[in-house]
């Protein structure tokens, strides 16, 4: 009785403190990650003005995460996505998606909108939202490997029955990858085209080349334009998609060699490509872009290296900078999974890198005029420890990372 009163008081006190400090503008943003436990939860952290993170709370999605499938449970990018003041989360093992409303003034306060919605297939792993915010599309990676789209409105998500494309991957539930699974999907800036990166078998003899599936989404019916072998190099496992600033091109990571640069034309053809070989790379899977420093960052899961690079938006020529090794406190490679840039101001970005090996988030400061390619670590945020101490349990897999910057206070 006494204990519960005290903890209730403490809890109320803590949330008041956070509320009060928030209005005093100590906090600039919120960071969300997705625990992949069967009782899946979004782990919410607040970001200080100096980029450092502090655990706030967790909220269950009501769905199932990928489960104990090693450090890279999803083998995809964009399983957790912020679009405007909406947060989309995939419940991979229960074939659903969850939608949350983010309070733009107190972004650590999120509220679920409606119930979880069937993903239109089995085992969804990536989600994208159209630039006009009317449509969300998902890639399903399991036995029903469909690309499906949903209309978005205030009451939630509604499946668009006419939009359904089978990737034909002949997968199981859960899928066995990384080969033959979808990796990511994205809309072009004009919202006319949806494209999906799909990993091939990784063996030219066995067929199923890596590819990019392209859809004309100006109507609600599928108009499937083309299937293109993505990489000019040894490629074949196209992974995350990051738009290249001031161009119609995209940086597409490829764990077999580094990354590729693609340009997608209005007619759905791919007009340009080049491969960026990252020396010594083992599994370059994720990528992010910092507008303040005009740097791209690729994330190598196996070697646990973050590689900064620049890309000339006219010539699309890439210049690599020395990689940054992320090791755990025991000296092991960290197993990097997801990364996002938080754009705090015209003068300051931060890079958040999720480290599955020790359930931390490494926070790097990216100030304007910073030294080319250098990564300045400002915090090793012990996310797993913080969540475990609340009585939740993170297994080996936290995957999915998203940020929201407060609009005003
Ligand atoms: C960032 O700000 C927080 C809150 O004021 C403080 O606890 C922390 O030490 C700061 N970190 C750095 C690297 O200055
Ligand atoms: C959500 O699910 C519950 C339980 O199945 C149901 O009672 C409720 O009507 C559903 N709400 C919506 C908005 O579909
Ligand atoms: C939400 O969108 C669906 C599908 O377009 C539509 O049937 C429904 O009426 C919309 N609801 C609201 C509240 O606009
Ligand atoms: C589909 O996968 C099963 C094993 O899961 C395999 O036996 C079968 O040959 C595959 N079919 C095709 C067309 O690849
Ligand atoms: C590719 O597949 C063929 C046929 O199944 C097999 O003989 C060969 O060893 C495979 N190559 C690699 C690199 O796995
Ligand atoms: C990729 O680039 C190579 C070399 O320039 C070219 O031969 C190939 O046709 C290009 N592929 C696509 C899909 O544009
Ligand atoms: C990009 O390349 C063009 C052509 O070589 C060059 O004129 C321009 O200065 C380059 N831009 C940057 C930012 O380096
Ligand atoms: C990173 O680790 C590799 C070995 O994996 C090593 O060769 C390299 O020197 C390290 N780089 C730095 C900057 O420590
Ligand atoms: C959190 O708890 C889980 C389950 O007990 C454990 O596997 C994991 O190692 C813990 N993580 C940390 C960072 O303590």
CATH of the domain at 292: 2.130.10.10
Q: How many residues belong to the chain?
A: 409
Asked, as a colleague might, if the bond just before 178 is cis with ω within 30 of 0, I would say yes
For 169, the domain range is 76-101+115-378
273 lines ligand 6 (CB under 6 A): yes
Cα 236 to middle of ligand 5, angstroms: 15
Residue 84 falls within a domain, yes or no?
yes
Q: What is the pLDDT of residue 270?
A: 82
Residue 399 falls within a domain, yes or no?
no
Cβ atoms of residues 190 and 144 within 8 Å: no
Ligand 3 atom closest to Cα of residue 153:
1
Global pTM reads 0.90
Residue 161 falls within a domain, yes or no?
yes
Q: What is the pLDDT of residue 118?
A: 98
Cα 23 to middle of ligand 1, angstroms: 17
Cα angle 255, 180, 278; round to 5? 10
Best of 144, 170, 171 to mutate for ligand 4, by most ligand atoms within 8 A of CB? 170
4 lines ligand 7 (CB under 6 A): no
Cα 396 to middle of ligand 9, angstroms: 7
The string over 333-352, giving b where at least 16 C-beta atoms fall within 10 Å of a residue's C-beta and e elsewhere, is bbbbbbbbbbbbeeebbbbb
Q: Are strands 110-112 and 224-229 parallel, antiparallel or unpaired?
A: unpaired
Domain count, the chain: 1
Residue 263 falls within a domain, yes or no?
yes
Cα 240 to middle of ligand 5, angstroms: 26
Residue 12 falls within a domain, yes or no?
no
Ligand 3 atom closest to Cα of residue 155:
13
Q: What is the pLDDT of residue 395?
A: 73
Mean pLDDT of 166-178: 94
Best of 200, 203, 207, 236 to mutate for ligand 5, by most ligand atoms within 8 A of CB? 203
Cα 153 to middle of ligand 3, angstroms: 6
Condensed to tens digits (0 to 9), the pLDDT of residues 28-72 reads 999 999 999 999 999 999 999 999 999 999 999 999 999 888 889
Residue 264 falls within a domain, yes or no?
yes
Cβ atoms of residues 183 and 201 within 8 Å: no
Residue 19 falls within a domain, yes or no?
no
Q: What is the pLDDT of residue 69?
A: 87
Residue 144 falls within a domain, yes or no?
yes
């Amino acid at each position: 009785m006494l204990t519960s009163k005290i903890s209730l008081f403490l809890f109320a006190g803590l949330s008041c403190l956070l509320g009060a400090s928030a209005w005093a503008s100590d906090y600039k943003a919120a960071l969300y990650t997705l625990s992949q436990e069967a009782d899946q939860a979004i782990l919410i952290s607040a970001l200080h003005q100096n980029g450092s993170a502090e655990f706030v709370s967790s909220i269950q999605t009501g769905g199932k995460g990928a489960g104990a499938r090693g450090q890279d449970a999803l083998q995809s990018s964009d399983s957790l996505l912020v679009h405007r003041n909406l947060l989309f989360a995939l419940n991979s093992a229960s074939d659903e998606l969850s939608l949350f409303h983010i309070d733009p003034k107190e972004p650590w306060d999120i509220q679920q909108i409606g119930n979880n919605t069937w993903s239109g297939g089995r085992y969804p792993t990536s989600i994208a939202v159209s630039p006009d915010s009317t449509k969300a599309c998902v890639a399903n990676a399991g036995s029903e490997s469909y690309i499906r789209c949903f209309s978005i409105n205030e009451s939630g998500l509604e499946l668009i029955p006419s939009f359904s494309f089978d990737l034909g991957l002949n997968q199981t539930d859960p899928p066995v990858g990384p080969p033959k699974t979808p990796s990511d999907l994205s809309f072009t800036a004009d919202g006319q085209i949806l494209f999906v990166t799909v990993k091939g078998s990784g063996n030219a003899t066995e067929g199923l080349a890596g590819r990019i599936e392209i859809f004309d989404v100006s109507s609600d019916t599928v108009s499937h334009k083309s299937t293109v072998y993505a990489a000019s190099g040894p490629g074949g496992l196209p992974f995350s998609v990051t738009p290249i600033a001031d161009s119609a091109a995209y940086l597409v990571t490829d764990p077999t060699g580094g990354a590729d640069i693609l340009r997608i034309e209005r007619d759905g053809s791919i007009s340009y490509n080049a491969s960026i070989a990252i020396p010594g790379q083992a599994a370059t899977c994720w990528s992010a872009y910092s507008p303040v420093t005009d740097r791209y960052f690729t994330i190598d899961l196996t070697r646990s290296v973050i590689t900064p690079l620049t890309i000339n938006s006219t010539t699309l020529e890439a210049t690599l900078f020395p990689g940054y090794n992320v090791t755990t406190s025991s000296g092991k490679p960290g197993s990097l999974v997801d990364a996002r840039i938080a754009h705090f101001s015209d003068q300051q970005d931060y890079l958040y890198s999720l480290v599955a090996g020790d359930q931390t988030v490494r926070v790097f400061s990216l100030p304007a005029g910073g030294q080319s390619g250098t990564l300045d670590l400002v915090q090793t945020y012990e996310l797993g420890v913080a969540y475990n101490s609340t009585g939740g349990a993170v297994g080996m897999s936290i995957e999915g990372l998203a940020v929201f910057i407060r609009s005003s206070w």
